[in-house]
A = this chain, B = another copy of it.
C-alpha cells in the first residue's frame, strides 16, 4: 500500500489497518493513536524502561507487555508479533531482517514497549489548521539523528532522534500549543528553526523517512521521535531486539484524544 492509497483509507478502522497495511501508517485510521515498538529480552527490560523514564520526550511509554506476551491493553485483539506493517530485527545492534511478520523471530523472554508516536497529534494539528506537508506530498515523515545525547540508563545510551514538519511561520505557536497538550505522544517541539542547532546538516537528507518540500514562509519544527530507542539499540548493541520500521507504526484502538491532558 502506498501513502496515496493510505490517504484514501483515512476512515479505515484500526483493526483493518493492523490486518492490511504494509507501508507507512501516517494518515491511516485517523483519530486513533499510533505507537512505536521496541521489544528486548527481559534482562534488558529495566534498562529500556529506565531509559524511557529518563527521556520522556522521545520515549513516552504507553504500554509494556508481560515477558513473552504479544497482547497489549492498547488494542485487545491485536497480536504484536504480526500487526505492525514492517518490523526490524536486530542482533548486537546490527539490522538482520526487516520482515512484515515477526512471528518467526519472537522469543519467550521478550518484553515489548509501545511508545507514543507523533502521528497521534496530527489530527489535532489538522483540526487547528496546521497543514502537514509530508502527507500532502505523499511521503513518510522525515526523521533525523541529532547531536544531542539522551540521558543514559544502565547499558542503554544513544542520540535523540527527531521528526520534522514544515509549518507556516504564523502557525508555529499554534502547533506548539496544540502538541504541548499531548505529552504522552512527544508533546511540544524540542526545537524550532535552524537545524544546525540540533547538529542536523541537511534537511533534504533525513536519516529515516523521506525529504519533504517547504512552502514559502515555512519553518522547520522538530519533535522528539519514538525512533530514539531504535537509535539506542544501534548504539548500545543489546544481543537482540525487535522494533517497528520507522514510519510503520502499530495502530492502536485508543482515541488520539485520550492523550490530550487539557
- A residues lining the B interface (CB < 8 Å): 45-46, 49-50, 53-54, 61, 64, 177, 180-181, 183, 187-188, 261-262
Are A181 and B49 within 8 A (Cβ)? no
- Chain B residues lying within 8 Å of A177, measured Cβ to Cβ, are 262
What's the minimum C-beta distance from A35 to chain B, rounded to whole angstroms? 14
| Complex Cα–Cα for A187 and B259 (A) | 13
What's the minimum C-beta distance from A69 to chain B, rounded to whole angstroms? 13
Identify the closest chain B residue to A181 (Cβ).
B262
- Chain B residues lying within 8 Å of A64, measured Cβ to Cβ, are 50, 53-54
Are B50 and A183 within 8 A (Cβ)? no
What's the minimum C-beta distance from A147 to chain B, rounded to whole angstroms? 21
Neighbour of A180 across the interface among B61, B180, B188, B262, CB < 8 A:
B262
- Chain B residues lying within 8 Å of A261, measured Cβ to Cβ, are 180-181, 183, 187-188, 261-262
What's the minimum C-beta distance from A129 to chain B, rounded to whole angstroms? 18
Identify the closest chain B residue to A49 (Cβ).
B49
Neighbour of A49 across the interface among B46, B180, B188, B262, CB < 8 A:
B46
- Pairs across A and B, CB under 8 Å, 11 listed: A49-B49, A49-B50, A53-B64, A54-B64, A177-B262, A180-B261, A183-B183, A183-B261, A188-B261, A261-B262, A262-B262
